[in-house]
Each structure stands twice: as structure tokens, then as C-alpha cells.
Amino acid sequence: PPPVVPPGLGFGGEAEAAAAAAMAAAAAPAGSLSVSSVLSLNSNRRHNIAYVEDDVVVTSAGSKLVLLNVSTMAQRYVPSLDGGGIGAFAVHPGRKFLAVAEKCRHRAPNVYVYAYPSLELVKVMRDGTERAYSALAFNEKGDKLASVGGSPDYLLTLWDWQQEAIVLRSKAFSQDVYTVKFSPFFEGMLTTSGTGHIRFWKMAETFTGLKLQGALGKFGAVELSDVEAFVEMPDGKVLSSTETGEMILWDGGLIKVLLRRTGGKPCHDGAINVMHHDKSTNCIVSGGDDGFVRLWSFSSVNDAEADEDAHHTCITPLDELHVGPGVKVRSLLWERRHWLVQDGSGGLWRVGLPDGGGSISRGASPARLLAHHAGGIVGLAASPTCGSVVTAGADGTVRVYDAATAALVSSMAFAGEATCMATLSAAAAALAVGFADGVVRLVRRCSGGDGGGNGSAVLTAAAKPHKGRVTCLAVSPDGTQLATAGADGTVFFFAAPGGGALADSGQLAPLAWAAVPSAATCIAWTCDGACVVVGTSVSALHEVRCPAPGEVDTSRTFQAHGLLARSLPLVLPKPPKAPR
């Protein structure tokens, strides 16, 4: 069921009515459309998974907050109310409330607090940032909420969320802030981190009242690094991550020691994205882009001292687990009997832990729960005949889903980033996919067991018509020719060998290519299929004639002169000057 606004809670008068209308519009758009299933999660996003109850996690995907039962895979949704998507979210320590900080294009976004599991909207915090929130966290008691905004203000705001009131605010930094956390040990202290910085905050009484005071961590001789994750020690020291795989132990805003593995190797081969203190085993847990989760002795980390004439020391992990090939550990939820791992390469893993606290390197059992795109989806085609959906992603994969069951039918991985996709027929049984390395590939869906054509995908043809990125593709109205355009300022024409429809042939026969004055950004065929119209990066349209098969002598080159029929510069009207 969609979230509801209970009367008299958190709103008054027009504000309550407006919020109720926004929620109704988000939950039931015009035409009675509703979300059936979210097929792909935002696996590259920081801090994008949290437990709200046993076996139920919350994550954001586009303009929805998704409540996913990892046992049954059932989904519930909380729609974005401000229209710009979800900026950040946080789960109350008692798991009774869920805070959602949003993005908005036309006004300052709000922070909404929902009761869980009813999803009733109970509180709204306003004017905490100008455009979008980037981080959100409750304190240990659950009575305070910290939010951080994105560009242009980067405001750190402390809220008494039950009163919908701002307690304190200050500019967190001048660049993106990834993480905010309250101290679990000291009242009134918190830490923020992000692009090239970590900052330690405290609420201090001054002669002008209560203030937020922040001490910027000084990297000194250590290379400056983005800081995505950190964990606070009971004595106030903070252990933070780095882009290069080392861990930094901070004390009073200064680096106490840089931690590496034995032999001088970094703690992880690549960026560290996850850090936890597991109190049940008294271990520090780290996870990174190398796919490893490593356990470190708390005392070895907390008591570490730099070697003589050096700013680092070496420690040895107690245990480690490689989650899976190609996995990037972006988030990790630690439960007594299992971990839940958000994979930055596109997936969600459940790692069963060995009974009796045995070694995770030998007794853990990783299993992939979900597999999906990592990064943007650049093309999508739905078949009106068999109910399948084909997507192409910036991760270089082409995936086929069964829309009725939301199941992934097949996935193909290619070298390089996919950039665009076009269907070769109305049934979307064959598709052309362009890539960043200039390659164009034809992919066909095989018939499934029911003969409906909803089976796996296979590669049928490939060509490299461009020196750089393929920016757009278009199929002629009769389906017999394919035009590709690239960032190199060229347009290439293909046909099926021997004529006929490209969807039936599944092959590419090159006809010719023509140059346009600048990088192509979009392309479309004319209604008669005689020409294509190409839009370019310098605000111009160019009409390029498609050559007939055999018209161009291709014995020495496929370049054809004289195909550029005409060019139309786009002259945009200048806005009138404001009166003085």
C-alpha cells in the first residue's frame, strides 16, 4: 500500500493537504499507472542499504525508496514527494521510523520521517539545504537527526526531528560530503567525511550560545584522500578509509598512524568503502573494491604506533573472505549469522557465516541474491508480444528480464561501456547496441521454451564503424538499414547482406560513411527513409542522404562524399535584457 499522511501529524492546514496530494500523485500517476517491480538497484551509491527489520532492507532506486524482503524478494515502495529523487535515508535505532532526505529542482527539498512499518508520514523538516541532501543519520538515542546538503551550500544541520526544528547548523565543507555519523560514545560529537577531507565536530557552549565547531583532519605528509567510511573508537580516536587501500587512525584531528598489511601492502587493493566495529567479536571489519572483507584485531588497530622514522605500521588481518569474482564491496550489513553485501559491480550478496565462530575464509558461504546493472542504463526495449524487457548498461552488459516475474533471464557482458541501443523490429527481438570504443553489436533474443521469444540473448554481429564513442543509433522506417553516429563526427550506414530486414538477417553489411562538422548527439530517419537528420554538439542539424547498396565504390574506402545534403544552424533567441 502507498504511504499515507495521518491527519494532524507533522502538518497543518494547507501544508498537510499539499503533502497528501503530492503523495497521492506520486503513488498513483495519471492513467492509474503503478510500479510493478524495481528490476535494478543503485549498487554504486554509497550507504544505500540498511535493515529496517529482520530480512527486510531499505534501499533507493531512482525516485523510489524500496523496501525489499531478502527472503521472499517482495517489494514495497515509498515515492519521492519532492520530484527530484532520494538524496539519502536513515533508519531510526529502534527501527520504528525511517527518515528520507530528498532532492528537488524547484524549491528547497524536505526531510520526511515515516513510521515503520505503517509508512505513515509523521514529520517533515524544511529548509535544511537548497537543492539536495547527500547524507543523513540518527544519533544513538534516536532523538536527533543530522543531515548534510549537497552543492551549493553543503550545510550540516542538526535537527530535533520530533519538533521539526533546527537545533544547529554550519557549513560542513566546500566539496561533497559522503557520510555523517554521531559519536556512539560521546554526547554532542559527530564526524563528517567526503571529498578530500574528514572533519570532527562537537557542540560547544560559547558566550553567544551553543555552536557547532568543526576541526578539519590534517593529512600532513600523507597523501590527501577521499574518505568514504570511518569508525570511532571508545576513546575518541577515529579509524578512516582511503582511496588507496590504507587505513588512517586519527587522534585529535591529527594522523596517529597509517595502517598497512604485512609487507607494506595496503589493507585493500583499491578503495575501502566499508568500516565497522563488530562488538560481539571485537573486530574491525573493512571491505573494499577488491571484493575482500577483512577482519582486524581491535587492540592491534587501537594501540597501533608508527614505526620509527615512518608514519605507518603494518598489521595482519585475523581473517578474510573474497566475496566473489569481480565483486566491489560498497556496503555491508552485519548480522549474527550472515552478512548482506551491496556489490558495486551490480548485485546483492548474502554471506552465510560459519557456526561457532569458525574461520570465514573456510566456512562462509556467499550467495548472490540479485544481479543487475552497475551504473547507468543507457537503453531499454520492451517486447509487446512476449513480455520481456531488454536493457543495456554503462557496465557493458545487455540483460533480458521477464517483466511478468521480474526475473533476470540472461545477461551478456562485453568489453567497454554501452552507450546507446536501438530496436531493429517492433517486437524488439533484435537490437543494435553502441559502445564507447566505437563498436556496434547486434543482439538477438532466442525463443524461450514457450516459443514466445523471451529466452536468452546471443550476439549475431559486430562492427567498428567509429574511432570513438558511438553516441546514437537509428533504424530506417522499413527496418532494412541502420545508421550509427559517433563522437568522431561521422555517420555510418549499414544494411542486411543481400537486402531484407536487419532483424531477420542479424548481420551487418557496411554501405558507406559520411562526415559531419562536429560530434553527433542525436539521429533520426526521415519518414521516407531516404535521409537521416543528425544533431551535433555545436547546435546544428545536418541532413545526410543514405546511399543505395552499390552506389558507393568501397574498393578502397567506405568514405562517401556528397552525402551531406544540407545543414541548418540552430539560432536560439537571446533572452531580453532586464530593464535598468
Rounded to whole angstroms, the Cα distance separating 466 from 438 reads 5
Q: Which residues pair with 510 in a beta bridge?
A: 494
pLDDT at 22: 58
pLDDT at 220 over 50: yes
Do the domain assignments include residue 527? yes
pLDDT at 285: 96
Kindly tell me the number of DSSP H helices and DSSP E strands found in the chain: 4, 45
Give 548's DSSP letter.
P
pLDDT at 455: 67
Are 526 and 479 found together in one domain?
A: yes
Do the domain assignments include residue 170? no
pLDDT band at 5 (very low <50, low <70, confident <90, very high): very low
Average pLDDT over residues 163-170: 96
pLDDT at 572: 79
C-alpha cell at 456: 536468452
Are 508 and 539 found together in one domain?
A: yes
**Residue of 93, 212, 80 whose CA lies nearest to 157:** 212
pLDDT at 23: 58
Are 554 and 448 found together in one domain?
A: no
At residue 114, what is the residue type?
A: Y
Are 570 and 538 found together in one domain?
A: yes
Rounded to whole angstroms, the Cα distance separating 36 from 544 reads 42
DSSP string computed for 376-394: -EEEEEE-TTT-EEEEEET
Secondary structure class of 509 (helix, strand, coil)? strand
Number of domains in the chain: 2
Are 560 and 548 found together in one domain?
A: yes
Do the domain assignments include residue 127? no
Helix (H) or strand (E) holding 141: none
Secondary structure class of 193 (helix, strand, coil)? strand
Are 495 and 532 found together in one domain?
A: yes
Query: Among residues 464, 481, 512, which one ends one of the domains?
Result: 464
Secondary structure class of 496 (helix, strand, coil)? coil
**Residue of 343, 569, 224, 499 whose CA lies nearest to 240:** 224
Query: Among residues 432, 464, 496, which one ends one of the domains?
Result: 464
| Residue 454's CATH number | 2.40.10.480
- How many residues does this entry show for the chain? 580
pLDDT at 342: 97
Average pLDDT over residues 502-531: 95
Model pTM above 0.75: yes
pLDDT band at 133 (very low <50, low <70, confident <90, very high): very high
Are 443 and 529 found together in one domain?
A: no
Do the domain assignments include residue 547? yes
**Sheet holding 56-61: strands in order across?**
50-53, 56-61, 64-69, 75-79
pLDDT per residue as tens digits for the range 276-332: 999 888 999 999 999 999 999 999 999 999 988 888 999 999 999 999 999 999 999
Sign of CA dihedral 9, 13, 15, 19: positive
Do the domain assignments include residue 440? yes
C-alpha cell at 98: 525511517
Do the domain assignments include residue 473? yes
Query: Among residues 449, 464, 479, which one ends one of the domains?
Result: 464
CB burial of residue 87 (10 Å; 0-12, 13-18, 19+): buried
Are 575 and 545 found together in one domain?
A: yes
Are 521 and 570 found together in one domain?
A: yes
Are 562 and 471 found together in one domain?
A: yes
Do the domain assignments include residue 517? yes
C-alpha cell at 253: 584531528
pLDDT at 102 over 50: yes
pLDDT at 331: 97
Do the domain assignments include residue 516? yes
Are 505 and 578 found together in one domain?
A: yes
254: Cα separation from own chain's centroid = 32
Across the chain, what does the average pLDDT equal?
A: 91
Residue-range definition of the domain harbouring residue 515: 466-580
| Residue 500's CATH number | 2.130.10.10
Are 438 and 481 found together in one domain?
A: no
Cα angle at 389 between 387 and 390, to 5 degrees? 145
DSSP string computed for 234-282: TTS-EEE--TTS-EEEEETTEEEEEEEETTS--SSSS-EEEEEEETTTT
